[in-house]
Chain A
Amino acid sequence: MAALELQLTDLTYTYPDAQSPALDQLTWAVRRGEFVVLAGRSGCGKSTLLRAMNGLVPEFYGGTIAGSARFRNALLSDFAERKIARHIGMVFQDPEKQLVMSEVEREIAFGLENLQVPQAEMRRRVAEVMAFFDLTDLRRQKTADLSGGEKQKVAIASVMALQPDVLLLDEPTSQLDPGTAQEILDLIKRLNEELGLTVILVEQRLDRVLHLADRVTAMDGGRIEYDGDPAGFATYAAERRPELLPPVTRLFVAAELPERPLTVKAARQIVAEQLRPEEPAFAVERKSSLFARLRDRWGQKRAEEQAALRALGVSFAYPGEDEVLKELTLQIDRGTITTILGANGAGKSTLLRHFIALLKPSAGAVEVEGRAIASLDPADLAGTVGYLSQNPSDYLFHDTLWQECQFSREMIGLPTEGEAAEREISAVLDSLGLLGHKDRNPRDLSGGERQRAALAAVLVQQPKLLLLDEPTRGLDAGQKDNLGRYLRDYVQRGGTVVLITHDVEFAAEHAHFAVLIDDGAVAAAGTPQEMFARGMFYAPQIGRIFRGVSAGDVITLEDGVNILTKKERSL
């Protein structure tokens, strides 16, 4: 057996002021060079476990700890003055909040300076790390000017400059778009495979990482529920924690099949064996009906009264920059959920900000419920349009959640006291599962709860329209399902939703329409079936499994289950 790198024995840890322990009599070990994925719902204790392994818990957080944590048989508490940073590095969730210096090269050197590495050695390590991470061209860049992915890369590089033996990563990709997230994960894989680094990774999107892992450890309530290989994890999760399952495995569980594949590739092989490959139906064959439907939904003839939002030939450029939107035309109908997809910088957020009058088009027109926004202030639309930005914390600054909701209503002249007002606020909080938190400080809530709290602050204004900018970012699978259900319910009650997301799975499951924006214009628009069934890159995992195997448009879990069970029946 390989030597043990980290060893926790009977570790119990309680945060200051907390009632119950975050880690409960945990005994766990990691071998040298292992790649371990920590799984579990939000708040299950996995982030705390990570912090216990480099001494941030309890050194930085305080609280009470019992049991022991060891690195190569030496107690973590014996490493004076954060010397443990030499051996165990950690990368955090938010790239914005872990960079300290204003220049990339200095950022990478920051940890080395702390550990009093001599100048000559620093220069060597900085040069090496920059070469490995391909950051040499960015060395003089201001860290503030980097993209999210670049920032996270710099954060990892600055930890790697310390040449640690273990790398702990706390949801390093949760704030990144899928492409960039994959890049970061590939990099981590390289560190593990090429440099023999021990990696312990916490990640919400397990489908991205399970195939990289040697071992998966699942936690709940501060205890370890499963500890073993990824295949075993699939079986465990199917039985006890279905919300942790990647979509691919979820499909097989829902279809009550015995296999538990973890990757699209594995699933495709199983499906291909069981289903006779069908020639994919080309769009040409279905042209008439597809075209008719497209024209119906997206063409000029559509009744204008239906439109909740319209962008007519909208162009826009930020001062001194190139055009972001280029004569974009789009209509969004009442009572629908529309997702806007597209690469970073394609103009998605810029478009959304036009719909709430935060930006005014430099050419063309934007109409919200039939009113042109050209002469409107964002505040004029409050109460009609609810807008949730990427950062829910921007909405939360009152002492209690209840006051936060009252503030929103007060701003647009809705009553804040009295039975009717209380009923309305309570109803919103209840529908979001937050009624129990109404007297808590919203800043004390967890990430997912915070996002719902911000949503509540928007919804108590009773808007007819909801604009959400990447609402699924940082949410775990269960939280995403809840959000999707809530939005569908909201639409059923007469609302309209437009949301930006990189999460194709979410769009496929919950949206009525999907719009792909590219280079400031609508590149494609249609129902999720039309949009995702034939796409290769913008396709949900379920769709990828059946691509070229089944002729039907398979994009949701339900579609997949139908096909698999139909096949069962036909056998």
Chain B
Amino acid sequence: MRRFERLHALTLAIYPLLLMMMALLTGHPLYLLALFGVTICALLTSGGARTFLKTMRYAWPLLLIILALNVLISKDGATILFDGPRIPVLGALRITLEAILFGLVMVLRLLVVLGAGNLYLAWLSPDRALGLMAKWAGRSAVVAMLTARLIPYLTEQAKSVGEVMQTRGVRFQEGATRERIKKHSLMLNVLLISSLEGSWQVAESMEARGFGSRHRSSYTRERWRRLDLLIWAGMLAALALMIALLSIGAAGFDFYPRLSPMLAAGGWTWGGALLLALLLILPPVLVKRRTD
């Protein structure tokens, strides 16, 4: 993760957000495909592709449900592919081309959002993300960081408490569900008492280092560099372009009742999509080039 430290955390945080925002602004399949392509490229260059695939392992049923529900429920489309009997709750089963396409576009949109989310995680360590927050959130950021630090500590403690209980004769895996819950609640009990006790010591050490004064400053090693400027310029240009394309109707798309033509604004549509993709691919490419 260290190689991303050449860029300001805000730059790294904003870019995925920009991708998400774009995906929500446009419903045009061509534009969404372009955004998806950019997201995948960015993930591939930053090593986030693997976690994205992992996310997909859990997310695909959700995407499928979204697609299925849209296809089954939406009855607005004009191009009927299948007209079936009435089904309770869902009403008349009518599958239309528009609904299928709309569902697919929704899925594509979600893929971009999920991909951008993964990119955010790949680019920004929790510490840097919280550090960004600290500037504005002050003490609540400290609490968040403290929590983040305590999680690995608690996991370890839970393990050792569980082991100690086993050596005292507690059999966690035996007995009816109720009994097992009771045994596990014993373990939680120890953890809770120990955490409360530990929190006293942590609080004391924080107070000894001056925590509790009304205001705090915030330490950051984030620095703005020329590369950041370049990327911000690219991002702003992309945003301006998107707004312009939306306002002339080149990036919009209607599904119902009938699909609008793919290239409604002619060259503006495909040219705009291409230009947008080029502008958006710039940041990940710069990140990659400068850090290698």
Contact = CB atoms under 8 A, between A and B. Distances in A.
SS of A interface (majority): helix
Interface in B201-243: 201-221
Interface centre among A85, A92, A99, A105 (most CB of B within 10 A): A85
Contacts of A389: 160, 163-164
Interface in B104-145: 126-127, 131, 134, 142, 145
Contact of A378 (B131, B167, B197): B167
A97 B205 contact: yes
A461 B202 contact: no
A102 B149 contact: yes
Interface stretch (B26-34, B187-195, B261-269): B187-195
B221 A443 contact: no
Contacts of A279: none
A117 B201 contact: no
A394 B161 CA distance: 5
SS of B interface (majority): helix
B152 interface: yes
B166 interface: yes
Contacts of B163: 353, 358, 378, 389
Contact of A89 (B152, B208, B219, B220): B208
A34 B193 CA distance: 39
B216 A114 contact: yes
B193 A82 contact: no
Interface stretch (A9-17, A119-127, A543-551, A558-566): A119-127
A378 B152 contact: no
B134 to A, nearest CB: 8
Contacts of B170: 379, 411
Interface in A99-116: 99-103, 105-106, 109-116
B207 A106 contact: no
Contact of B208 (A90, A101, A397): A90
B153 interface: yes
A408 B168 CA distance: 6
B208 A54 contact: yes
Contacts of A306: none
B193 A144 contact: no
A85 B209 CA distance: 6
B288 interface: no
Contact of B211 (A82, A109, A119, A387): A82
B204 A113 contact: no
A407 B131 CA distance: 46
Interface string B250-292: 0000000000000000000000000000000000000000000
B283 to A, nearest CB: 23
B14 interface: no
Nearest to B192: A397
Nearest to B2: A140
Given A82-B213, A97-B202, A122 B193 contact: no
A336 B218 CA distance: 57
Closest 5 CB pairs of A and B: A411-B169, A382-B169, A109-B219, A85-B210, A111-B209
Interface of A: 54, 56, 59-60, 81-83, 85-86, 89-90, 92, 94, 96-103, 105-106, 109-119, 122-123, 126, 140, 142-144, 155, 158-159, 162, 353, 356, 358, 377-379, 381-383, 385-387, 389, 391, 393-397, 407-408, 411-412, 443, 457-458, 461
Given A56-B208, A394-B160, 10 more contacts: A81-B210, A81-B213, A90-B208, A99-B205, A100-B205, A101-B146, A112-B219, A113-B218, A114-B212, A379-B167
